[in-house]
Structure 1
Amino acid sequence: MPPSTEERPQMSIEDFEDLANAAPEHVRLEFVGGRLRTKDPLSVEDFEELERRAPETVRLEYINGKLEVKAMPDGKHPSLFMWLLRQCLLQRPDLNLVPESGVKAEAYREGRARTDGSLAPVDHYKGDGEWSNPDGTLMTVEITSRDRDTNQRDRIDKPIGYAEADIPVYLLIDRDDNTITVFSEPKDGRYLQAPSYPWGATIELPDPVNITLDTEKLKDYAD
């Protein structure tokens, strides 16, 4: 999918400088072409230490062995999340849709993904630290943002990472083409099913989620 003309760089130079100043001494960062990079290979342990020290304005992920910056919510992003939250609460009061949830993704739990939402039984994440094991998570949710890396991150890398972690359903609310893609049936690191629906369709989320989404309201949020 071609990039949006409204997309933003990963982060500002000011945020990069704050992050670089807070980074552990052996983690060397650089900022090239509006993108955050590490000068040396980064381990999961180094990533978690860097993430703990990051300023509040910077949200970090560790995707496919690389340091990534997750865009801050913008514009209609919160409205889209609240639309989904209301439908989940009405139909499945036994579940919580937890915003900004950190999940150990990918094979062997080596990735660190910060979801826009994670659906799980009430109190499932109680007592967890910053990054929860995916066991018991029924669905992860991502809402695309206007940043240059959303295509690779949300449409390519995260479906693989969530499938490798055996998360049953990955819901992608795509603001670029006004669609919802429902990834399901993870097997061997891939989702076997990934149908896409236009905003306005009625969507049946598969087991174990079992929620029917009336997406007519989403037309109000189309750009």
Structure 2
Amino acid sequence: MAAVSERPQMLPEEFEEFARRLASTAEGIRPEFINGKPGVKPVPDGGHGRIVQWLLRVCIQARPELFLHDQGLRIQGYRGGFARPDGTLADADAFVGRGDWATTEDVLMVAEVTSFDSDSDTDRRDRIEKPRAYAETGIPVYLLIDRDSAEFIVHSRPDGVRYESVQILPIGKTVHLPEPVGIALDTEPLKDWVR
């Protein structure tokens, strides 16, 4: 039996309008559109926020010309899409004047931090769909900080379809983010913020 391709639940243009209306009516909602499906990121808890703060501080200390932005991105893929990573590492001025959904040519790395007890939709997005979408877009490094498994998963060397290199390290080890990021992360402090 031939595989039937799934139809997108909405077109990218429809999602942009939906996200614009949602932003004007619902504070704190973070919509995304990946693999033809709209979704909403869960509201982060305190530990999640603390991990993002830690990553921001480490990145700025190591490379002061960069910033870990909270920026929506237009991502590629056969259906197009929009993602809102927990952190987008780029030059400090990379997104000035670029609007809610910026292109990714200046992005060095995107970072996601999983939520505890994430549902299957979040699990699929962070661990399966986002690595593919970010690789298809050509983002050099995708860092997934998985609080459930207490691991850092570093995806690098995108080939336009997938990341050719995936390194998995337990929290507590030093994590070396490859070029063009070139930052070493001492992850010992994160032991208090994961399971």
Q: Under a length normalisation based on structure 1, what TM-score does the superposition of the two structures give?
A: 0.79
Q: Which residue does 1:193 correspond to in 2?
A: 165
Q: Give the alignment of 1:99-118 within 5 angstroms.
A: 99=70, 101-107=71-77, 110-118=80-88
**Distance in 1 between residues matched to 2:194 and 2:11, nearest whole Å:** 39
Alignment of 1:47-86 (within 5 A): 47-54=15-22, 55-86=26-57
Displacement after TM superposition at 1:160 (Å): 0.4
**Contact map agreement 2:9 2:38 (CA 8 A) in 1:** no
* Match of residue 9, structure 2, among 28, 31, 41: 41
CA change 1:95–1:57 in 2 (3 A) is: closer
Unpaired runs of at least 5, structure 1? 1-39
Native 8 Å contact 2:35 2:79 kept in 1: no
Report the counterpart of residue 32 of structure 1 in structure 2: none
Counterpart code for 1:190: R
- Shift of residue 222 of structure 1? 2.4
Contact 2:73 2:103 in 1 (8 A): yes
Q: CA RMSD in A?
A: 1.4
Structure 2 unaligned residues grouped into runs of 5+: 1-7
SS in 2 for 1:209: coil
- TM-score with structure 2 length normalisation? 0.90
Asked if 2 retains the 8 angstrom alpha-carbon contact of 1:106 and 1:160, the reply is: no
Q: 2:145 aligns with which of 164, 167, 173?
A: 173
Structure 1 residues 150-161: aligned runs within 5 Å: 150-161=122-133
CA 1:209–1:97 in structure 2 vs 1: closer, same or farther (change >3 Å)?
Answer: same
Q: 1:59 deviation in Å? A: 1.7
Q: Specify the code of the residue in structure 2 equivalent to 1:155.
A: R
Aligned mates of 1:203, 1:211 — CA distance in 2:
8
Q: Deviations over 1:198-220 (max 9, x none)?
A: 01101111000000100010111
Instruction: Count how many residue pairs are aligned between Structure 1 and Structure 2.
Output: 183
What fraction of aligned residue pairs are identical, expressed as a percent?
A: 48
**1:109 Cα deviation after fit:** 8.0
Structure 1 residues 215 and 102: CA distance shift in structure 2, 3 A: same
**Superposed structure 1 runs of 4+ greater than 2 Å apart:** 106-109
**Native 8 Å contact 2:35 2:77 kept in 1:** no
Tell me if the contact between 1:109 and 1:165 (Cα under 8 Å) persists in the aligned partners. no
Hey, what does 1:93 align to over in structure 2? Answer: 64
